[in-house]
């Protein structure tokens, strides 16, 4: 299986090369030339299997260079060893809120309590094997921009991994207090963290510029280093996310919630579009999906695009209580456009150039109709997010974080608008304790904002009778290691300094 560049399909690489490189030299993203095809028999064969077995099956179908033994080593290294609480890395929980029956896909049982663990516990294993396969003896500099969850998950996944250096940039005022503490207390001899004075889009744009900066790349090359990425622009990050959609379908079949072949709807709270795109790829492989419902917060650039066909980042940026979705440039949308245009790299490159130069682009009618046939969308304000957290807790006894609540609200609006009662999977992307202040304010009538963040965590646990995840509880005593802050124009200088090259 070869991988193509979305902006020039004549550029092809192996799976290992795609994982090592992360992003094409022209800024495009790597995608498989073709996708594996799964029959209903293939899907039902996964009933009764462990998550490890399902992951091994899906991952191996995309990585033909890897031996079965290597795949097994990667999967066990990622999901074994007690890293994920509860025995199942991605359990599906039935929740009923009034007339809406939902299947909540909990993706936050890993070491950083966010869905990014599902991919970023596996990516380091894929990368180290890929480095060997490409006979690359250079140190991989893993460069990440984060809106909160990716940073910590990448730091945790890559800490002390030989042959790698890990550097994370995050918006100083664009993550939750708990996310910030998670990153700035990170252990590991090969990791560094720096806040930037700006928003996530500034961090993401800065990182992309660093990837293609000739002077910086030459400096790295001269010192035995090369760039790679742990953001979802790296195919090795996106691939593991396909697994949990396939796994969720099998779990629903096992539970009798659906019959083999029954379609499902999938609702995803997303800003960068990677998480929902992984589900879309699963459907292209054969997973029966009726509709993908894209849930946004007040930064509803994706909602507008999916309803009009025009992508326009020229709008106010909102810092919300669901900060992992505070994004106006959705990188992975490029991969969807490449797919629905039949791999028309010229069209995609043109739209991406317009986005870079003008901040907007509009797809043609044929492309828009193909997207509209598969996707629906909606958005949710902070006020409605808090109301939904309270409503679901009062009605169903289920505690949502601020991102999951966005998805629930958008889904309930979708059902009210369409009457579509197709069995539905809703991605729950983070533990409510990562956003304890906002969640507590939604469910506590005596909420006191002046409380310490860890007092809020304790109060939330006592009030709701839910358990504080061990990774969150353990943060209180961890020393702060990083307090770096820079302007977005200084990211290159900071990179070189933290790598010891300045």
Q: Which long-range contacts (CB under 8 A, 24 or more apart) does 208-212 make?
A: 208/23, 208/27, 209/492, 210/143, 210/491, 210/492, 210/495, 211/22, 211/23, 211/27, 211/143, 212/25, 212/26, 212/27
Question: Which residue, 447, 451, 474, is CA-closest to 463?
Answer: 447
Would you say 127 and 140 are in contact if contact means Cβ atoms under 8 Å apart? yes
Q: What is the pLDDT of residue 87?
A: 86
Taking only the tens place, the pLDDT of each residue in 163-183 is 999 999 999 999 999 999 999
Q: Report the C-alpha dihedral over residues 185, 191, 192, 196, rounded to 10 degrees.
A: -90
Active site residue 450: no
Q: Which residues of the chain have pLDDT under 70?
A: none
Q: How far apart are the first and last CA of the chain?
A: 40
Query: Would the pTM count as exceeding 0.85?
Result: yes
Both tokens of residue 366?
């044929």
Taking only the tens place, the pLDDT of each residue in 342-401 is 999 999 999 999 999 999 999 999 999 999 999 999 999 999 999 999 999 999 999 999
CA distance 443 to 401: 11
Element (H, E) at 226: strand 225-229
Q: What is the pLDDT of residue 502?
A: 85
Q: What is the pLDDT of residue 316?
A: 95
Q: What is the pLDDT of residue 172?
A: 94
CA distance 490 to 497: 11
CA distance 187 to 215: 30
Parallel, antiparallel, or unpaired: how do β-strands 139-145 and 164-171 relate? parallel
Which residue carries 């209903």 as its tokens?
A: 40
Q: What is the pLDDT of residue 98?
A: 86
Considering the candidates 2, 96, 116, 478, report the single residue annotated as catalytic. 116
């Amino acid at each position: 299986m070869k991988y193509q560049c979305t902006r020039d399909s004549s550029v092809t690489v192996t799976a290992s090369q795609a994982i090592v490189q992360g992003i094409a030299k022209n800024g495009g993203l790597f995608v498989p030339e073709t996708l594996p095809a799964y029959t209903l028999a293939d899907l039902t064969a996964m009933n009764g299997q462990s998550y490890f077995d399902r992951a091994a099956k899906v991952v191996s179908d995309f990585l033909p260079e890897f031996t079965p033994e290597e795949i097994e080593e990667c999967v066990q290294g990622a999901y074994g060893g007690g890293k994920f609480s509860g025995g199942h890395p991605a359990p599906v929980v039935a929740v009923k809120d009034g007339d809406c029956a939902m299947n909540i896909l909990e993706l936050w049982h890993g070491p950083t309590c966010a869905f990014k663990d599902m991919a970023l516990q596996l990516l380091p294993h894929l990368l180290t094997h890929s480095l060997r396969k490409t006979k690359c003896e250079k140190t991989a500099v893993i460069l990440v921009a984060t809106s909160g969850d990716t940073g910590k998950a990448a730091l945790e996944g890559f800490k002390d991994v030989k042959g790698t250096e890990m550097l994370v940039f995050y918006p100083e005022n664009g993550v939750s207090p708990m996310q910030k503490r998670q990153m700035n207390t990170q252990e590991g001899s090969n990791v560094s963290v720096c806040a930037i004075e700006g928003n996530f889009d500034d961090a993401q744009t800065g990182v992309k510029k660093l990837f293609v900066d000739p002077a910086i790349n030459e400096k790295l090359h001269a010192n035995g280093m090369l760039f790679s990425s742990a953001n979802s622009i790296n195919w090795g990050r996106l691939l593991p996310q396909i697994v949990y959609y396939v796994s969720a379908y099998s779990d629903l079949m096992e539970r009798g919630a659906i019959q083999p072949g029954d379609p499902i709807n999938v609702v995803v709270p997303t800003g960068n579009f990677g998480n929902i795109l992984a589900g879309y790829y699963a459907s292209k492989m054969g997973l029966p999906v009726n509709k993908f419902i894209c849930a946004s917060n007040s930064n509803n650039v994706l909602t507008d695009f999916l309803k009009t066909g025009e992508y326009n980042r020229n709008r106010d940026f909102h810092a919300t209580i669901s900060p992992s979705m505070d994004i106006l440039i959705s990188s992975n949308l490029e991969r969807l456009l490449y797919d629905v245009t039949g791999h028309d790299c010229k069209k995609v490159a043109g739209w991406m150039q317009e986005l870079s130069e003008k901040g907007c682009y509009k797809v043609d009618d044929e492309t828009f109709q193909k997207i509209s046939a598969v996707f629906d969308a909606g958005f949710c304000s902070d006020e409605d997010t808090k109301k939904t957290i309270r409503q679901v807790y009062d009605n169903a006894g289920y505690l949502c974080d601020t991102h999951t609540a966005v998805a629930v609200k958008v889904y309930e609006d979708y059902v009210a608008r369409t009457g579509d009662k197709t069995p539905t999977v809703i991605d729950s992307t983070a533990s409510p304790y990562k956003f304890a202040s906002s969640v507590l304010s939604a469910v506590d009538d005596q909420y006191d904002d002046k409380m310490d963040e860890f007092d809020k965590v304790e109060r939330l646990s006592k009030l709701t009778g839910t358990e504080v995840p061990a990774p969150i509880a353990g943060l209180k005593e961890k020393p702060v290691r990083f307090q770096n802050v820079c302007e977005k124009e200084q990211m290159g200088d900071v990179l070189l300094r933290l790598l010891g090259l300045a």
